Amino acid sequence: MASGQPWLPPYLGSRVELIRSLLHDPRLGSGDGPPHPHSGMLGTRWAAMEPNPSPWRQVVEDFVAAVSVRDLASRVSDEALRKQMEQSAGQSIVQLLDDYCGTPPRLWPWPWPGPPPWVFGIASELNAIASTMQEGGLRSGLQEIAGQVVAKGFGVGQSRITG
């Protein structure tokens, strides 16, 4: 075995055979494989009932990106750059909360009373992603934003962005 190469169990064959079989597997990326851990707040059976394309998938990714930038900013030594990163991430979070969870007019209109259903989907996805992470700023930041999504969706208080 070459140095620096990870060990492979014998049932996978050689490294070349494993890579070849993975590259030629038509199921990879087709959705036919096992469900992704973040495939929906109620699992794959209920995922079929979601609108397609799901309007909150992109906003979840955007929240994760903004919280990641905010968390990264805490590790930047240049104070001016850190403040700029924190301000940009905070503005992004506020805008996303207003667009998807705030009072009308929203980016996605919801004409009935109560919060729109995607508020629960967004909060659930953020919490599911956070639960896969180790303790730290990113995990707590995602949990904080999940709580803000629900609070803002129900019209409770103002969004509070720290950092």
User: What is the tally of structural domains in the chain?
Assistant: 1
Contact between residue 71 and residue 142 where contact means Cβ atoms under 8 Å apart: no
Q: State whether residue 71 is helix, strand or coil.
A: helix
Does residue 37 belong to any structural domain of this protein? no
47 in Cβ contact with 40 (< 8 Å): yes
Is residue 45 domain-resident?
no
89 neighbors 76 (Cβ within 8 angstroms): no
pLDDT at 6 over 80: no
Q: Kindly report the backbone phi and psi dihedral angles of residue 120, in degrees, each rounded to the nearest multiple of 5, phi listed first.
A: -70, -40
Residue 16 lies in a domain: no
Within a domain: residue 70? yes
Does 73 reside within a domain? yes
- Is 127 contained in some domain? yes
Tell me which residue range forms the domain holding 83. 57-153
Per-residue pLDDT tens for 24-69?
766 555 555 444 444 444 444 445 555 666 667 889 999 999 999 9
pTM assigned to the model: 0.64
Q: Between the CA of residue 40 and those of 51, 122, 126, what are the distances in Å?
A: 12, 10, 11
